[in-house]
Structure formats: structure tokens, C-alpha cells
Copies of this chain bind each other. A is one copy, B any other.
Amino acid sequence: MAEYLDRIKSPADVKKLGMIELERLAEEIRERLIQGVAKTGGHIGPNLGVVELTIAMHYVFDTPRDSFVFDVSHQSYVHKLLTGREEQFETIRQPGGLNGFMLRTESEHDSFGAGHAGTALSAALGMAVARDMSGGSEHVVALAGDAAFTNGISFEALNNMAAQTKRLIIVLNDNEWSIDKNVGAIAEYFHKIATNPTYVNLHDRAAALVEKFGGRAASHIVHKAEEAAKGIVGRGMIFEEFGLNYYGPIDGHNLPLLIETFKFLKKQNKPVVLHALTQKGRGFQPALEKQKKFHGLGPYDPETGETKPAGQKTYSEIFAESLNKLADRNDKVVAITAAMPNGTALDLFRPHHPTRYFDVGIAEEHAVLFAAGMATKGYRPFCAIYSTFLQRAFDQVVHDVALQELPVVFCMDRGGLSGDDGPTHHGLFDISYLRGIPNIIHMNPKDEDELQDMMLTALEHNGPSAIRYPRGTGPGVAVKDYPVALEIGKAEVLQDGSDVAIFALGAMVAEAEKLAKMLKAEGQSIAVINARFAKPIDAECVTKYARRCGVVITMEDHVLAGGFGSAVLETLNTAEIETPVVRVGWPDNFIEHGKPEALREKYGLTAEAAMERVKGMLKRPVGV
């Protein structure tokens, strides 16, 4: 079916194709992406944007000898198709299948894994310096979107680059979009370059020349492009000030031009930036029309781009709607996102409170500090940052917010297993990394309505707090018109009992209720407690039930090491209570991607698995 793509068993096969065949290959790849991701879901838009770039890179360079470092690496599908993984492509993001990001253990062509943004330049510089020290001649190419330059690490890398290596190629894949449209001075700066009439003119001439002369014209064009780019922006080019040579902007979909340009860049004796303009979603009309939707999504109709109608509201949506309510009544409430208005659903907040909405770019550290600054002036910032991304701002949470007891609220979406995205996106560490920090309150809602109550609780608390809630939908309970504040550090006893006490956190409350039913069926008297707070833990409730019951069970969608169960152990230790505790949670290894239910089953985070572990520990014999 796919005449050329079927032949590509490794990047060596790409090099065998002529220019017309390469163009045909690009078409086939687009078709494959559109059809394949329609079934699996995934980052279709970004990958359609880098088809020619990736082909050209594999045509000119030679992985795994040369190293490609992709920023975030959600745009690595084309790379996967060209590096021997075409036949497995239908398994991408599926259980046991290909990962949706670069993964070192998946292929020798994936030289550096990612999932979080802004890491490519630094990692690539490390590789380049290592290559230089070893006297190697291989190339290191970093591919980073324009959004990566809203992140501070990219600048830290640029600051070090020119002094540390003479050979490093950075491809700035500029489509003016990260997940949402980029914000800030850098985005504006790139836009200014890309829309400059001199470039537009150059671009047209370049296309004509390539058409006329093919490869032979390209080096001439590149030279012209370089000159023109310098003419456009003068010696003030940000990259030039960092000591790099800047080339571009060039058309990121012009294969011959890209190939000749890479051949030219290979020979440079200075770190270089190639500014390539691409179109996110190119070749798929629905994706071009709805860039934000088609950044990354679930399965869709490959003809129309239609997705299944949204059903029940997600936790993210409940969060945003609740924040609207809070902001309606309290004009000090502000919302901050680090380039995730869609993922966090803050795009539902923005239209209602446009002046109180802040998207700061992929800049989690700045987001938290910005919130801290606002908090000193009486505002109540809600920072909506995924659990895994808040790791980015850990020091600011400690050093700036918690130490100064500032009332910043961290709304940690995707707390717990994230599913398809895999280990870079699971939010399984936030209890352990926050629990040691004084002054922090750490809340976990059992359902949507409780999320809303916890948000009000956080708002009314004059200090820092964090709320973690799962990806996707919850139990789907009705949400009150306006929330009610909870008592801080107070658990909720859902059912009383005297043989076994189950303390469950957040999403695991449902599993706890299932386990309670199973234990009841065996004649046991079961207490089910919605713990609500990982910190401060409800010591009174924990000790009371531990004294009363023969076994305590803790359940959390979090690693066991340092997690909620660990906090229960500490509480019992302090109270000198020796009741046995069975801790249910994730083991001490990184969890692969997959369906949450299947993974929970595999790793024993189910009522059934807990039942097996508890059976032998019951004081009252089973079945009596």
C-alpha cells in the first residue's frame, strides 16, 4: 500500500531514495499518521508538522551514530516510522506498544527520552561536549519547538553553548504553537522574523530556485537565506548574541531546501540554529482548522476529524468551573497556567475572568514565583500545573511559597497514573515530594464535588496548599451550586466498622468501597475512611480506628515510598500503636504507559489484590 514507507526498515533506506521519492514518502507518512493516530489517539498535529524536517534529518544525518534530541519528543512519530518501528506504529500509546515519546530503551535511535519541555538544548550540549572530549566526529541535532524557548532551561543552555562546543545543530521548529498559542516576548520576536517581507520574498525565490535547479541551487539559497536573515534582524539576533550562528527562517516543508541546508550546517564550525517555519497539522484539514484540538487527542474519524462527543465532565472541567464560581465572589482569585489552558481547562476560566487569567508559557518556575509575588499583594493565585510538571517548580514551592507561608494554591491535575502518556506524565510522586515540606496542605478529593470543596478550603486558608486530582473523569457526582469549606486535616468516615479500617485517598476511595463490600461479604465489620488530607493527616481518626480495628489498610494512587501509607505509619509510630498496616500503592519503579485499569491490576492496586493480602491478617476468621 505504502510504496516507499514499506521499504524503510532503517534510516539507511531513506538515503536510497531520490528527491521525488522522498516527496512521495512524505505523503505516505502523512497518510499513515492520520490513519494510525485516528485509532490510537496521540499528538497528530505536531507530527504532521515535522514530516519533511524529520525525513531531511534522517537523509542527511546518520542515527544512531549521530544523535537526535527532540524537545518534549511528542513529535517523534515520524522518526519512529523511519527507524524500524513502522510495523509497530499501530501499537503506539497502546498497552505493551510503542511509547508516545522518545524512549532510550525502545530504540538505539532514541538518544534521549523526554516528555517535559525545554530539555533538548541542555542534553544535546552535554552530548556535544562529550563527543568533543572523546574526539568524535558525530553530529548532535536538537529539534525544539518555539515553545521550548519560553522555558528558562533553553536559555541556560544557550548561555553555555558557544563557550563549550563548536559543533551543535539546533533546529527551531517554529509553528507558533505549543499546545496553545505561545505567549510572551520570544514568541512575538519569532513571529516578527517569520512575517518580515524580506523573508517572505526570499522564501518565494528559494522555492523557485529549488524547482529550477534542484539540489545544486540549495547551497546558494542557504547562503542567501543567511544573508537575508541577517539583513532582517541585524546583528541583534538573540541567538547571535548568545554566540550561535543563526540561519533562516526557511520553509520547513521544502524537502530539497531542508536537505541542502542540513548538508551545509553539518560543515559549520560553530553552534548553529536553523529556524524552520512549519505548519502544525499540515496535510490534514481538520487539524489545520483546529490546531489546539489536534495537538494531542484521543481517537478521531480520519476523514472528518470528528471525535466522540464529550460525555461526563472531567476533573479539569470541574476545576475550571469551580474556579469561576470562586472568582465570581472573590475578586482576589487569579488563575495561572504554564502553557496548558486546554489541558487544565483554564480556557473555561479565561472568558469569564480575562484580566485574572495568566498563561506564562512553559515556565513552571516563573509561574510559581509570579504567584508568590501576587500573593504578597493580597491576591489568591490558583496555579494549575500537572502533578508531574510541578516537579519543575519544586524549589519555588519550598523556598518561595511554603517558607514564606504565602497563600498560593497548587491545583495538580493528572495526579496519579496518567495512562497512555506513560512514565514521563504519571503524577505519582507529589505526596512524597511535598509531604516533607512544612506549611503545605495536601488534599485529595474523592469526587468532583469534593474537589470544589477543597478549592474553597484552599482559598479560605491563609497559607499554601495543594490539591491533586486524577486525569479524566471521576465518579460523576452532582456538584453543589457553591462549595463548602472542609475542616483542614479532617478525614471523612464514610462507613463505620471495627474489624478493618480502610483509609483511602482520592481516586482510591471507590476501590476502598469495593474492597469493603468484599470484606463484608466475608463477615467482617469494615470502616471506610476518605482520608482527604495527605498532609496534615487526620491523626485523631487514624489512631482511633487503628486502636479499634485489627488491620488498617491504606490505598493511594501514588508510590508507596514516602506516600500516604507512609504518613499513616509515621502517625501510628508517633502514637505508639502497633496495629498491622497493609499499604496499597505503586511499587518502587517507573510505571510504563498503558490503560490505568490494566496497570492497576498488574501492580496490585485493586480491591481484589488488597483482599488477597489482607485475608490472612483478619482477626475474625473469614466467612464467620
Interface residues of chain A, those whose CB is within 8 Å of chain B, are 67, 69, 104, 111-116, 119, 122-131, 133-134, 150-164, 183-186, 188-189, 234-238, 240-243, 334, 355-356, 358, 360-361, 363, 365-366, 369-379, 381, 388-389, 391-392, 394-396, 398-400, 402-404, 423-424, 428-429, 431-433, 435-439, 535, 559-563, 565-567, 569-570, 573, 576, 578, 580-581, 583, 588-590
Contacts and interface: CB of A to CB of B under 8 A. Distances in A.
Contact of A374 (B126, B184, B392, B561): B126
A429 B398 contact: yes
B573 A562 contact: no
Contact of A160 (B124, B235, B361, B578): B361
B578 A570 contact: no
Contact of A563 (B152, B156, B436): B436
Nearest to A116: B399
The residue in A126, A162, A560 that gathers the most chain B C-beta atoms within 10 A of its C-beta is A126
Contacts of A184: 159-160, 163
A424 B399 contact: yes
Copy total for this chain: 2
A126 B372 contact: yes
Nearest to A398: B391
A134 to B, nearest CB: 7
Nearest to A572: B569
20 contacts: A67-B376, A69-B373, A104-B404, A112-B404, A116-B399, A122-B366, A122-B370, A124-B373, A126-B374, A129-B374, A134-B378, A152-B152, A153-B363, A235-B236, A238-B238, A432-B562, A435-B562, A436-B561, A438-B588, A439-B589
Contacts of A154: 152
A516 B400 CA distance: 40
Contact of A576 (B125, B164, B391, B580): B580
A355 B132 CA distance: 11
Contacts of A238: 238, 241
A234 to B, nearest CB: 6
B156 A185 contact: no
A131 B373 CA distance: 10
The residue in A127, A424, A583 that gathers the most chain B C-beta atoms within 10 A of its C-beta is A127
Given A156-B152, A160-B360, A392-B395, A123 B365 contact: no
A242 B429 CA distance: 36
B358 A131 contact: no
A560 B569 contact: no
A450 to B, nearest CB: 24
Given A129-B374, A152-B156, A369-B126, A185 B438 contact: no
Contacts of A151: 152, 156
Contacts of A236: 234-237, 240-241
Contacts of A160: 183-185, 360-361, 363, 366, 370
B429 A185 contact: no
Contact of A370 (B126, B437, B578): B126
Given A153-B365, A569-B569, A126 B373 contact: yes
Nearest 3 A/B pairs, CB to CB: A236-B236, A152-B152, A126-B373
